[in-house]
Amino acid sequence: MKIQTFGFTTTRRFAAIAILASFILSNAFAVETLRGSKVNNPVVSTVTAKYTTDLTKLGREGRIRETLNFETETARLVKVLAEGGVRQPVVVNEDKAVQEQVVEQAALRIAKGNTPAALANGSILKIETDSLFSNARTKEDIASIVNTIVADAAASKGQTILFVNELTNLVGSDAVNNTLFSAIAEGKLVMIGGSSAAAYDERNESQPEIAAYFAGILVAERDANGAMAGNVEQNDSGYRGDNVSPDLREMMANDPSGNTRVDTIIQAKDADSAVLRSLLASGQASVSDRIGNSDTLVVNLPLSAVSALSTSGTINYVSPDRPTTITGHVEDTTGAALMRSQPALNGRSSYTLDGDGIGIAVVDSGIYTSHKGFKENGNSDDNSRIVANVNFTNSNLSDTADLYGHGSHVAGLAAGNSNANSGNYRGVAKKANVISVKVLNNEGVGNTSWLLNGLQWIINNRAAYNIRVVNLSLGTTAVDTYTNDPICVKVKQLAEAGVVVIAAAGNLGKNSLGQKMYGQIHSPGNSPYAITVGASNSLGTAARNDDGMASYSSQGPTRSYYRTSTGTAVYDNLIKPDIVAPGNRLVSYKAANNRMSINNPALNLDSTNGSDSMMYMSGTSMSARSWPERPPYCSRSTQTSPRT
């Protein structure tokens, strides 16, 4: 889910389709009644029958041709509809035909039953606006017709979705607005809009009071950058062994019936292959998402469909959509002054390493953007250094806030510039720009597909924000060999594109009995293309002779693996982590009212809860930066001043 907080000037630059929320902003909009009891025969008045066309019925009759051109956009639209809520989505594109095509594909999915249960009995009715405008003599007539159609939709109790073109001139009518606002406020209607970027900008600026009624998703870009990013992925290079992950094989063995449905990540050879699509359809599989323009699909399917996919020759690898969680963070706690100020040497001029102009993508739980530490000079009225803020955890445009608290702390360690405590709580890269990529929800939990979408967004937008470093203070169980693991594959693409990827080692250095464990490096820390960081314990001193490995820090060798054709497990056995850095009780930025500090008050540095507050954390990953004076593969860890 690609959700973005910057405006449509950026969207225009990408020439993308977006699903964004609004009902009064749009050139087109759809209305869906809140899902209630299921009714087989929705109420349809003569007015509704005269001015609408049932797109879902056309889909059942085979009169809408399936296209994969906007598969990601269609999946986003279907997901927003199924989630419901007060905030309303709208398809945004300069071409109205494109807007309509996305809605038609959603109707076709409903007709085929390839949607969540909440939409199972839905029907999308398109209001024929040409007929409406030609027959209505006044705005009052138009308002009366629209209000009648809306009333019919409400009476259907969740079955009718209305798609309307050219409604910009209608929503200014109080008669229409009052009906729509009342229905939404009472939880009876959900609306989907279509808008050009210009219309969105104009309405958003002139009517900010409606902001509470809309949210949105920015979906896959289709510009030159996106096409180039898509070419980074290789169809079948490097995959090893069985093309079904070991844990998925275990699920199949435990369910001989094959009826259990699972969410999977399919790395296809050609995601648009007719053979693959036919296999998915025959196996009762449902494509819920596509990672950008790549050949990686998120598919819900019964276990019985996996064997056919495995032997079809159409896929490189299939694995579960595994959960991801935070793994803490580690920063270098010594040598900041020496690192920032580099003296003249061997004819080279002196220079400063402060991250100026470099973009650091913090892939985490979001960032508390109001913290002074993310301002240019550490003052509340300074310009923000957070240049992009995107969310892939749901369909809510405004859900980029860090309610969990982890991402803000990590970003502060990487690039903080707070003046608190005489500037002692600063990251080394205090002038770097920060790109917040939210892939963990407000409980600090995510899944593989969210992370893949976030990493794909970085690939597509790395040039626009000069992203030279990606910090992954999160991970998931490393099962698949790094050549097959979908996250590791994406990390390799980033590295090949010149982006340094910093990954957490993990926090599984000992078991519940306190016994030391090896081989517990998380994914994507098991990738040789990532700089994997473990935690050391500085024991509160600046000296290094008393440092040791933190007991909780995961250690290698890596035990991700693949199976040969004879079933033999071949382990990666890479030596990891690559480096360690102090990771105990580090002080960094506190997101106001975050759940970590509320649930554990001992993490708070003091009792404040404002725009310059601090908190402690410990863990096994790091934020890093690549300096403009150095090659992109040269990175250094950042610093904070811990309380010892």
> Mean pLDDT across the stretch 248-257?
96
Is the pLDDT higher at 579 or at 26? 579
Please indicate, yes or no, whether residues 388 and 478 belong to a single structural domain of this protein: yes
Q: Look at residue 484 and tell me whether its pLDDT is greater than 80.
A: yes
Do 256 and 398 belong together in one domain?
no
Cα(310)–Cα(313) distance, integer angstroms = 7
Structural domain includes residue 524? yes
Question: Same domain, yes or no, for 317 and 330?
Answer: no
Q: Which of these three, 321, 338, 367, is where a domain ends? A: 321
Instruction: Encode pLDDT of 123-177 as tens digits.
Output: 998 888 777 877 888 878 888 888 888 888 888 877 888 887 664 445 555 555 6
Has residue 28 been placed in a domain?
yes
Q: What percent of the chain has pLDDT over 90?
A: 32
CATH number at residue 151: 3.40.50.300
**In sequence order, what are the beta bridge partners of 584?**
none
Do 25 and 136 belong together in one domain? yes
For 602-638, the pLDDT digits (tens) are: 888 888 888 888 887 766 543 322 222 232 222 233 3
Instruction: Give domain status of residue 531, yes or no.
Output: yes
Query: Does residue 268 fall inside a structural domain?
Result: yes
Could you please report the per-residue DSSP string of 327-373? ---B---S-HHHHHEEPPBTTBPPEE-S-TT-EEEEEES---TT-GG
Please, which pLDDT band fits residue 588 given cuts at 50, 70 and 90? confident
Q: What is the mean pLDDT of the chain?
A: 78
Could you tell me if 73 and 197 lie in one domain? yes
pLDDT in tens, 410-432: 998 888 888 887 777 777 788 89
pLDDT band for position 228 (50/70/90)?
Answer: very low
**Contact partners, residue 105, CB within 8 Å, separation at least 6:** 64, 66, 67, 70, 71, 74
Q: How far is it, in rounded angstroms, from Cα 435 to Cα 358?
A: 10
CATH assignment of the domain containing 345: 3.40.50.200
* Percent of the chain whose pLDDT exceeds 70: 75
Q: Label residues 529-556 b or e (16+ Cβ within 10 Å = b).
A: bbbbbbbbbbeeeeeeeebeebebbbbb
Do 32 and 81 touch, CB atoms closer than 8 A? yes
Helices 448-461 and 224-232 meet at what angle, rounded to 10?
120
Catalytic residues: 364, 406, 621
379 and 505 assigned to the same domain: yes
Both tokens of 474, joined, read 């999160």
d(CA 17, CA 90) in angstroms, rounded, equals 10
Tell whether 276 and 406 lie within a shared domain: no
Listed in sequence order, the residues at least 6 apart from 343 whose beta carbon sits closer than 8 Å to its beta carbon are 350
Q: What is the pTM of this model?
A: 0.73
At 98-111, the pLDDT tens digits run: 888 888 999 999 99
- Pull the structure tokens for residue 455: 């990493």
Claim to verify: residue 251 and residue 215 sit in the same structural domain = no
Q: How confident is the model at residue 496 (pLDDT cuts 50, 70, 90)?
A: very high
How many structural domains does the chain have?
3
Residue 594 lies inside a defined structural domain of this protein: yes
**CA gap 493, 421 in Å, rounded:** 40
Q: Are 188 and 250 in the same domain?
A: no
Nearest CA to 317 out of 260, 252, 239 is that of 239
Whether 226 is covered by a domain: the verdict is no
C-alpha 365/C-alpha 406 separation (Å) is 6
Q: What is the arithmetic mean of pLDDT over 482-491?
A: 97
144 with 26, same domain: the answer is yes
| Mean pLDDT of the region 292-314 | 93
For residues 25-34, average pLDDT: 49
| Domain contains 71 | yes
Residue 269 and residue 305 in one domain: yes
For residue 642, tell me if it sits in a domain.
no
Pairing of strands 18-20, 216-218: antiparallel
Give yes or no for a contact between 71 and 102, defined as CB atoms under 8 angstroms apart.
no
CA 129 to chain centre: 36
Q: What is the pLDDT of residues 262-284, one digit of tens each?
A: 999 999 999 999 999 999 988 88
| 61 has a pLDDT exceeding 60 | yes
Contacts of 574 (CB under 8 A, 6+ apart): 482, 526, 528, 556, 557, 558
> How many angstroms separate the Cα of 458 from the Cα of each of 388, 432, 628?
11, 16, 19
Which of 304, 321, 338 is the last residue before a domain boundary? 321
Q: What is the CATH number of the domain that holds 267?
A: 3.30.70.80
* The token pair that represents 439 in the structure block: 């892939």
Q: Containing domain of residue 279, as a range? A: 246-321
In the predicted model, is pLDDT for residue 448 greater than 90? Answer: yes
Distance CA 183, CA 189 (A): 6
Per-residue pLDDT at 37 exceeds 80: no
Residues 6+ apart with CB under 8 A from 598: none
Clarify whether residues 251 and 275 are in a common domain: yes
